[in-house]
Amino acid sequence: MKVLYFAWLRQRTGTGEEQVSPPEEVRDMAGLMRWLATRSPGHAAAFADPAQIRMAVNQDFCGPDHPVKPGDEIAFFPPVTGG
Amino acid sequence: MGVTPAIRVQEAPFDLAAETAALSAGRVDVGGIASFVGLCRADDGLQALVLEHYPGMTERSIARIAGQACERWPLTGCTVIHRHGRILPGEGIVLVLAASRHRVAALEACAFLIDWLKTGAPFWKREEFAGGAERWVESRHEDEARSREWG
């Protein structure tokens, strides 16, 4: 699956986009965050405070209990500040 | 007749006068056009705002909410332009236009759209200051509350 990072999550992970293949037991966004946090110290820093993180699956906002599957486009980002 | 909102996400500046004129050009059924222009302020010595967004999701989410505005109010036209990239103090960041036969629909739809853009469009603002300091703008609870009030 494709994972996108925006704003300070991009800065802390050191990447805007990566292809990942999490193990089968990763079934939802909360599980994916826990697994991604183990990829590098930067990822760990990015996911250190889940309350500050918003997310989307296939370009729709969702919550941490949203399921994930191979082929999904996943995005993690801070609360939005447009307008 | 269904109205198709004009949605643009772009780096380039926008022209308020030209965009406003486009909503009534060649027609005599438009009674009013409400506009909101969001500008970059130079608070605390800010030198530039840098806006990042989520290409694809940004356009989709703005189109969806502009479509909702067109269903909720009897609009004759609707334009949303949101810039990204580096924006200097005094420059426009976002333009919302809502046109209708009567003022109430135009004013309410315009307010609805800008309130929603603050909380529902995937943009992130980074502030750059003299000397190289920078910080990400944090979301405001007041914006969330205003957006929720529209239902």
DSSP class of residue B14 equals -
Task: For residue A55, count CB atoms less than 10 angstroms from its CB and return exposed for 0-12, middle for 13-18, buried for 19 or more.
Answer: buried
Strand partners, A75: A4, A56
B-chain residues near A7 (CB < 8 A): 52, 124, 126, 136
CA distance A5 to chain B (A): 9
Q: Which residue of chain A is at minimal alpha-carbon distance from B95?
A: A83
The confidence score (pLDDT) of residue B2 equals 79
Query: How far apart are alpha carbons A20 and B60 in whole angstroms?
Result: 25
Partner-chain contact B57 A56, CB within 8 Å: yes
- In this predicted complex, what is the ipTM? 0.95
On whether any CB of chain B is under 8 Å from the CB of A72, the answer is no
Q: How far is CA B29 from CA A19, A53, B5, B111, in A?
A: 52, 46, 17, 22
The confidence score (pLDDT) of residue B144 equals 87
Nearest CB to A77 within list B114, B120, B124: B124
H or E element in which residue B76 lies = strand B75-83
pLDDT digit string (tens) for B85-96? 999 999 999 999
* Burial profile B75-100: b = 16 or more Cβ within 10 angstroms, e = fewer: bbbbbbbbbbeebeeeebbbbbbbbb
pTM of the model as a whole? 0.94
Report chain B residues touching chain A, CB-CB < 8 A.
38, 51-54, 56-57, 60-61, 82, 93-94, 114, 117-126, 136-139, 143
Partner-chain contact B118 A83, CB within 8 Å: yes
Strand partners, B77: B99
Lowest mean pLDDT among A25-29, A71-75, B64-68, B146-150: B146-150
Q: Is the pLDDT of residue A10 over 80?
A: yes
| Cβ-proximal residues to A32 (8 Å cutoff; 6+ apart), any chain | A3, A22, A26, A68, A74
Confidence of residue B141 (pLDDT cuts 50, 70, 90): confident
The confidence score (pLDDT) of residue A68 equals 98
SS3 for B68? Answer: helix
Q: Which domains does chain B have, with CATH numbers?
A: 6-12+29-149 (3.90.1170.40)
Query: How far apart are alpha carbons B72 and B50 in whole angstroms?
Result: 33
Q: Which domains does chain A have, with CATH numbers?
A: 2-77 (3.10.20.30)
Nearest residue to B55 via CA among B10, B113, B107:
B10
Query: Would you say A39 and A27 are in contact if contact means Cβ atoms under 8 Å apart?
Result: no
Strand partners, B99: B33, B77
**pLDDT averaged over chain B?**
96
pLDDT digit string (tens) for B1-49? 579 999 999 999 999 999 999 999 999 999 999 999 999 999 999 999 9
